[in-house]
Structure 1
Amino acid sequence: MTNIPTDRQYSAEHEWVRIADGTATVGVTQYAADALGDVVYLELPEVGSAVVAGQACGEIESTKSVSELFAPVTGTVSSVNEDATQAPEVVNSDPYGAGWLFTVTVEAEGPLMDAEAYTALTQG
């Protein structure tokens, strides 16, 4: 099992979120990236759009399937990772770093878990 970073929180839908100074950086976990297979396309929310915790806000397409991307927090999208949209395979190679997807100015957090709880979820 991949090492799960402890400096962020996780959703049951396999997104990670790191919140600092009211801004959340969002990505998908290594577990999700491995389950998806080779990521070939990302449809991310637009800058300025509102996202609601627990609701779909985009899609990730792989060679295996298309999966919805869920917002782990409620707020306004403040940036998207254009590099990842141009080279979506970075989600597979570096999901906790260069493969981040978008940032949100946080109004409220959804139900999130720490790394220990997320590890239990994925290894259960």
Structure 2
Amino acid sequence: MRTTGKIAALLGTTAALLALTTGAAAAGPEHHNTDPLGTGCASGASTIRSGSVGGIGYEIRYSAACGTNWVRVPALSGTVYMLIRSDWGGSAVGGYQTGSGGSHWTPQVYAPGSTCVTFWVQRIGSGDPATGNVRLC
């Protein structure tokens, strides 16, 4: 093996070991219906849409590293129904969450690149409106 080949192999091995030791998340369908915080996907994620409905502030988050989206309510008060589905496939994820402060979020759905997602957010028991099935592409 030539010196340049040995260096390239060493750099590749070093990069792979670094990814394993730092817990860096990688894109893949194995992240569907998992916790974005627990998988490391929340690290470096961005808000691609935010809004408010029925007094609930919500965010749709995207992790480019994992190719995933999820719904987050940064200051949950009361009971909220949150759901997100990806055009990639797999099941819709989410459900009822109750809180009196703090962030709450759905599991993430795999939606790499420009895959469309559909979400729903609604406060329960107040008669407040819902976002309905809002589609993001």
TM range (shorter): 0.3 to 0.5
The structure with more radius of gyration: 2
- In the superposition, the TM-score normalised over structure 2's length comes to 0.32
User: RCO (CA 8 Å, sep 6+): is it higher in 1 or 2?
Assistant: 1
